[in-house]
Amino acid sequence: MPLPNSKLQEIAARYEDDLVCMPAAVRPKALGWHTKESMDLGFRDIARMFPETGPLSVNDLGCAFGNTLDYIGDRLDVYNGYDISEKILEKARQERQGPRIRFFLSDRCLYPADYSIASMLIVWFPDSVTLNEWEIEVGEILQNLSDHSRIAFAFNTYASTHPNKHPGQYYPDVEKWMEYCKRFGSPELHVVRHGELAHHEKDGPSLPRWATVIVRK
């Protein structure tokens, strides 16, 4: 059963006031990315599911300011962005305008598209829910992405091996969610390893910070 909206609003309340006042250049870290470069890597990973040519219709669940549009370019057919923060959506509508761009206040995709995305959506963990409750919600989110995607969907998330974990964020066993996604199609995994080390390490191999899962239907 999906979490009530009041629970999800805890996530919006945690960051929306600061985010809407931030310059665009410093937003990536507040949105869950280590750096702007890591955000670029994450979106390029997601873009692996797109064909090399042709128009793209895309659902973007947890869209924030519509950063996904930067990686679609002039191939856009329809973009549906969904977020639970009206304050952030108001800013997104100011910054991202066009006849093929639509934003909706919603915690689920509402319209079908060829492709659906949830970029770093599941990493934000409401303070008042248990891990089990949040994982049920993650399953509901993935089901919604599948139901509204004609060709494929993708999501990225922190990995359980992330070297610098923080309270209030979700670091799942990605293999578990890949197995879950087999009910929807054929999942592919792209694991991103950063060169930076955990703060306490002086040498040694870097650990995967996040993973991107693409599910082709």
**Residue 174's CATH number:** 3.40.50.150
Q: Is residue 214 part of a domain?
A: no
* Residue 195: closest CA among 163, 173, 159: 163
Q: Is residue 57 part of a domain?
A: yes
Q: Is residue 136 part of a domain?
A: yes
pLDDT tens digits, the chain, 217 residues: what are they? 555 566 677 777 766 666 666 666 556 665 666 677 777 888 888 999 999 999 999 999 999 889 899 999 899 999 999 999 999 899 999 999 999 999 999 999 999 999 999 998 998 888 888 999 999 999 999 999 999 999 999 999 988 888 788 888 899 999 999 999 999 999 998 876 654 433 344 444 556 788 899 999 9
Q: H-helix or E-strand containing 57?
A: strand 56-61
pLDDT at res. 201:
44
Q: Is residue 85 part of a domain?
A: yes
| pTM summary value | 0.86
Domain containing residue 13: 5-209
Provide the number of structural domains found in the chain. 1
Q: Within 13 Å and on the Cβ side, how many CA atoms surround 16?
A: 19
Strand order in the sheet with 149-158: 101-105, 76-83, 56-61, 113-119, 149-158, 208-216, 186-193
β-sheet bridge partners, residue 189: 213
Q: Is residue 119 part of a domain?
A: yes
Q: Residue 68 carries which DSSP code?
A: G
163: tokens are 């070297």
Q: Is residue 69 part of a domain?
A: yes
Q: Is residue 216 part of a domain?
A: no
Question: What burial letters (b/e) apply to 57-94, b meaning 16+ CB within 10 Å?
Answer: bbbbbbbbbbbbbebbeeebebbbbbbbbeebbebbee
User: CA 92 to CA 31: how far, in whole Å?
Assistant: 14
205: tokens are 């191999």
pLDDT at res. 22:
61
Q: Is residue 106 part of a domain?
A: yes
pLDDT at res. 23:
60
136: tokens are 């049920």
